[in-house]
Structure 1
Amino acid sequence: MKKVNIGGVPEHFNLAWYLTLKDGEYKEKGINLRWHDYPGGTGAMCKGLRNGDIDVAVILTEGIIKDIIAGNPSKIVQTFVQTPLIWGVHVGHDSPYKTIEDLKGTKAAISRYGSGSHLMAYIHAENNNWDLEKDLDFEVIKDLDGAVKGLTEGDADYFLWEKFTTKPLVDSGVFRRIDDCPSPWPCFVIAVREDFIASNKDHLQTILEIINNTTQEFKDIPSIDKTIANRYKQQLDDVQEWLGITEWSQELIDKGTIMNVQKELFALDIIPEIVDYERLTCKL
């Protein structure tokens, strides 16, 4: 039995992994796939890949591209979710800030430097024609629980996180959402440590085959909307809206998309150079 460690955020996007694990599909093929939740998100998973704590990560596209360029010995082997991530721009419920303009020059809560919440704060600032030097400031809060504490206690002023994941906090009066900020590219990819790819290509292809069979038919699973609503404590109509706008992928991310992400990150001075497609991806 081959043990494989995989990491991802504990969110509805990754329910397909939970379902295939629950059904024992990997064990039937001689693979002991061990799922690890990373509530800290992309930055924590990048660290996990670098340290060898995980072999595989279901991770934000922009975050892993930045970290591979910075020396993470991993490659993107597939797009996982094809559609953009809808980031909500949140403030504390009692915050004096009502509009995006009010947030200019205030402090953004981020899970860690290099994380999706950090990179998307730049995208959001650029979308609103802010001065990236003067109008951005950051407070590291580690995860969603840290964001609740940070925004409630005034350590930070606003927070970008996936809209539907944070919706229960909006519904319960902890946060207010004042804007949406979609990522300009497919949101999640599957990244794998290079040494694992080199020695376990067959196992990796089997894992992808199993998860892809599930994501292809994910929306057709009976009562999947109710399952998601119950498991992630979300409103049924929110889940149905999310399912309506979300598409999974079973293909390797294409050259054009990789270039678009890099151009954006380079323009924002988040990466020092634009690298070849082959340095970031691996076709199995």
Structure 2
Amino acid sequence: MTNELGLKIGGVPEHFNLPWRLAIEEGKFQEIGLNLHWSDMSGGTGQMIRGLETKSIDIAVLLTEGITKSILQGLDAKILQVYVVSPLRWGIHVPPKGMIKKPEDVKDQTFAISRYGSGSHLMAYVMADQHHWNLDNLKFNVIGDVYGGLWALENNEAQAFLWEKYTTFPFVEQGKCDYVGDVVTPWPCFVIAARTEIAEKHPDILQKMCDIVNQKALEVKEGANAAEIISWRYNLPLEQVKMWLSETDWNYKGEEYLPAFEKTTDYLKKLNLVSEGEAEGWKSKLFA
């Protein structure tokens, strides 16, 4: 197609994003005149926010709390829609065979985080709030990605590391870390966002893009062989994948879920991660 629009999109190299990978491989976006270049962002939401800032990516599939905080604090981007409506189950990972046996033992320890503003960073606040800990006592060590987190636990550079628990299950099995519980997000976990310039210039094609990935997600959810495909492509145990699929729902109909963003904003205010002023007018700031 001669007038094809080329855009760069970033997302974590995890099972949540199989619908994107399949749609790209099957040429679904090219059918609407969109040439979508996918970049794996193993550094997670913090890395993608940086990518949107520097314009090295145009679109990102990232965590609700991370992008909400960043936009409210001035990131020039807009949320297109919720991508995954179910919550994310963050595994609480600790050094193997150590003294930490349950979530309560993590109090006053250092958290390994991929970047400031990332999910692993913000969810440490959520965990602390759920356990009624003093948020001022939280300590962090920036480690880049999941492998940095495992290194930090092994070398006592951190004593806790929050990451999506199915992604890290193989590392638990290998004895690289212990898993002592979950922190569950109080909102839908992933959204699709775009730089404001892109969102305002190409609303129609971005809507078609979202429709395509929502439909592909429904096919993954209902596919008879979906668990086997995910297990093979992402090197995850089949039984774990089946459990994850049963817990996971994408935004098949492209619904708005506005109350979820109000809840996220209120929580960020409560944790003093955004100010009252930054949260004011959140709806007009977050959406095009």
Tell me whether 1:147 sits opposite 2:149 in the alignment: yes
Tell me whether 1:198 sits opposite 2:204 in the alignment: no
Instruction: Find the partner of 1:235 among 217, 234, 237.
Output: 237
Deviations 1:112-148 (CA, angstroms, capped at 9, x unpaired): 11110000000001111111112x1111011001011
Query: Normalised by the size of structure 2, how large is the TM-score?
Result: 0.95
Question: What is the CA–CA distance in structure 2 between the aligned matches of 1:203 and 1:34, rounded to whole Å?
Answer: 15
**3-state secondary structure, aligned to 2:53:** helix
Q: Which aligned pairs between 1:27-66 and structure 2 lie closer than 5 A?
A: 27-66=30-69
Tell me if structure 1 keeps the 8 A contact 2:58–2:198: yes
Instruction: Find the partner of 2:164 among 162, 165, 170.
Output: 162
Letter in 2 for 1:233: N
Tell me whether 1:13 sits opposite 2:16 in the alignment: yes
Q: Which aligned pairs between 1:111-150 and structure 2 lie closer than 5 A?
A: 111-134=114-137, 136-150=138-152
Question: What is the CA–CA distance in structure 2 between the aligned matches of 1:46 and 1:166, rounded to whole Å?
Answer: 23
Tell me whether 1:275 sits opposite 2:262 in the alignment: no
Structure 2 counterpart of 1:83: 86
Question: What is the CA–CA distance in structure 1 between the aligned matches of 2:226 and 2:259, rounded to whole Å?
Answer: 33
**3-state secondary structure, aligned to 1:181:** strand
Q: 1:192 Cα shift?
A: 1.0
Deviations 1:153-182 (CA, angstroms, capped at 9, x unpaired): 111111000111111111111111101110
Question: What is the CA–CA distance in structure 2 between the aligned matches of 1:60 and 1:54, rounded to whole Å?
Answer: 16
* RMSD, aligned CA: 1.2
Q: How many residues align?
A: 281
Letter in 1 for 2:286: L
Question: What is the CA–CA distance in structure 1 between the aligned matches of 2:232 and 2:123, rounded to whole Å?
Answer: 29
Structure 1 portions without partners, runs of 5+: none
Instruction: Find the partner of 2:5 among 2, 6, 9.
Output: 2
Deviations 1:209-248 (CA, angstroms, capped at 9, x unpaired): 2112111222222311011111111111100000001011
Pick closer, same or farther for the CA change 1:182–1:257 going to 2, 3 Å: same
Q: 1:252 Cα shift?
A: 4.5
Query: Normalised by the size of structure 1, how large is the TM-score?
Result: 0.96
Q: 1:100 Cα shift?
A: 2.1
Q: Which aligned pairs between 1:94-113 and structure 2 lie closer than 5 A?
A: 94-113=97-116
Q: 1:207 Cα shift?
A: 1.1
Letter in 2 for 1:275: E
Question: What is the CA–CA distance in structure 2 between the aligned matches of 1:37 and 1:190, rounded to whole Å?
Answer: 15
Tell me whether 1:23 sits opposite 2:26 in the alignment: yes
**3-state secondary structure, aligned to 1:80:** strand
**3-state secondary structure, aligned to 2:242:** helix
Letter in 2 for 1:69: L
Structure 2 portions without partners, runs of 5+: none
**3-state secondary structure, aligned to 1:78:** strand
**3-state secondary structure, aligned to 1:139:** strand
Tell me if structure 2 keeps the 8 A contact 1:77–1:252: no
Q: 1:260 Cα shift?
A: 0.8
Mean Cα deviation higher: 120-129 or 26-35:
26-35
Tell me whether 1:263 sits opposite 2:266 in the alignment: yes
Mean Cα deviation higher: 46-55 or 92-101:
92-101
The percentage of aligned residue pairs carrying the same residue is 42
Q: 1:254 Cα shift?
A: 2.9
Tell me if structure 1 keeps the 8 A contact 2:48–2:62: yes
Tell me if structure 1 keeps the 8 A contact 2:82–2:192: yes
Q: 1:203 Cα shift?
A: 1.9
**3-state secondary structure, aligned to 2:136:** coil
Deviations 1:58-87 (CA, angstroms, capped at 9, x unpaired): 110000000001111111110000000000
Tell me whether 1:70 sits opposite 2:73 in the alignment: yes
